[in-house]
Chain A
């Protein structure tokens, strides 16, 4: 146990030394004007590189470097979003509707043309927000359910018509497609028949697959009927269609993921080590 602790200390010291050296090299880069800016830039890039490698060390296993980066990430990012929320929502949206003096203090334009009732209405979220904070008082903590109820009501009320419109009706409408596109009779179909990717046969296959796929996919999601008989066959085709969908999404996503790694490694080699 003591041994591994010592080992850890040695590793940490070595890593620290390596990064300090890297910082010095970085700062000396472009020697002609080794100014304070260069030193600062060197430090910042070195820190970024250190954090990058610390995260990658997780791939080997949990270790103090990852833990350090993780804890720093949590602390800094929580404060980042808090600051952003404060300045953009409270100052950006609420303050302009309150009072010219407050708006003046934050040096933000006071919105004058808003009718009074739209100003007064802003009391509601503020009161609800304060009720939410009452959670910290054990005796009345149940009152924080009110703002929660407000939010849940909003979510349900707004999402129902939204999904109905864009995901249900719109998608059904999109599926009203002809299964015989550019159809000019059987004669023309057979005389021009080919397995070309841009030929009519391919187009017909596409549309039939979409049609059958959507219907069978829906059958798979059916809850109130046992998947047996013809229903079972349809639901089986439905699963297959879903599996193709998943496979396609996987194959398609991989490319984007690799380019993220290319980006990070380019940062390490180019911005930090200057070897590319």
Chain B
């Protein structure tokens, strides 16, 4: 963190101490102070671009380690199963997966079960994959398969034979002329399946219809609202999960920490997390201060009686 990022933390810290002292003395803190405090916290954090070094929780770390520990040249499938509404939360996850897989020299296969996923996939290509990894060759190191209608029906087919559903890639090139598909017949030939999504079909469908049946590990990224529904599959059927902006931020910070080449990349999830984390800490502090003041007030009243 640079020096200017400490400014909001110092300001907010002093403010919290002041509120604490006031409450401790039994003076009432006006709700307007509370309001302006939370507004100020978020505004300052945004202006000074506060970012915290997130630490990956076990469930995120598991996904990270899987990509990290696969032998070089492993086949990783990444599916874009989301729409623009969910994109702020989950798009950063997809970008992180691309970066990580490419940096580890894995082979990347990009799919989409949502019609809207394809345009978002294109964004990732023009903003991340192509500029950051110009040395990687299309058709050899990565390939775009695009969207096919049929939801989980698509999975039902490609779990035994990809060419039946996708005779060609998104540019109408036959799979047989793409070196990346040498020796790949079905999902069973992959080393890891990753779905990034927040609706249906999404991570759950990849687990049930693809991972379980092909016996290939599945990792996922999902919007915060649907993440709790996926926890039951972890760790057996789902080896790792990124939930919401927080999950995305944890992954980004792991990448930055362990890969010097990513030190200067744009990290939208971490940026979003800065103000949120500050606000959360303030709210936690409010609960604590409120309770301390409450118990002190109670003891005082009792001693007066």
B-contacting residues of A (Cβ < 8 Å)?
Answer: 56, 59-61, 197-198, 252, 254-256, 258-259, 261-262, 265-266, 269, 275-276
Contacts and interface: CB of A to CB of B under 8 A. Distances in A.
Contacts of A255: 224, 244, 246, 276, 280
Given A255-B246, A259-B272, A265 B279 contact: no
Contact of A60 (B32, B245, B272): B32
Contacts of A266: 46
Contacts of A262: 42, 46, 272, 275-276
Nearest to A59: B35
B244 A258 contact: no
Is chain B's binding surface mostly helix, strand, loop or mixed? helix
B167 interface: no
B292 interface: no
Q: What 5 A-B pairs come out closest when comparing CB atoms?
A: A258-B279, A59-B35, A258-B276, A262-B275, A198-B235
A255 B233 CA distance: 24
A269 B45 CA distance: 12
B60 to A, nearest CB: 14
Given A256-B224, A258-B280, A265 B32 contact: no
A205 B253 CA distance: 33
A73 B272 CA distance: 29
Contact of A259 (B36, B47, B228, B276): B276
B245 A261 contact: no
A258 B43 CA distance: 12
B47 A261 contact: no
Contacts of B276: 255, 258-259, 262
Contact of A276 (B32, B47, B246, B283): B47
14 contacts: A56-B39, A59-B36, A198-B234, A252-B228, A255-B224, A258-B42, A258-B275, A259-B272, A261-B42, A262-B276, A265-B46, A266-B46, A269-B46, A275-B47
Nearest to B232: A206
Contacts, number: 50
Is chain A's binding surface mostly helix, strand, loop or mixed? helix
A252 to B, nearest CB: 8
Contacts of A269: 43, 46-47
B7 interface: no
A261 B39 CA distance: 8
A259 B43 contact: no
Contacts of A261: 38-39, 42, 279
B14 interface: no
B11 interface: no
A259 B248 CA distance: 15
A98 B172 CA distance: 47
B58 interface: yes
B155 to A, nearest CB: 25
Interface string B209-246: 00000000000000010001000001100000000111
B124 to A, nearest CB: 22
A34 to B, nearest CB: 28
B33 to A, nearest CB: 11
A216 B17 CA distance: 42
Contacts of B43: 265, 269
* B35, B39, B46, B272 — most chain A CB neighbours (10 Å): B46
A206 to B, nearest CB: 9
Contacts of B280: 254-255, 258
Contacts of A254: 280, 283
Contacts of B245: 259
Interface string B262-297: 000000000010011001100100000000000000
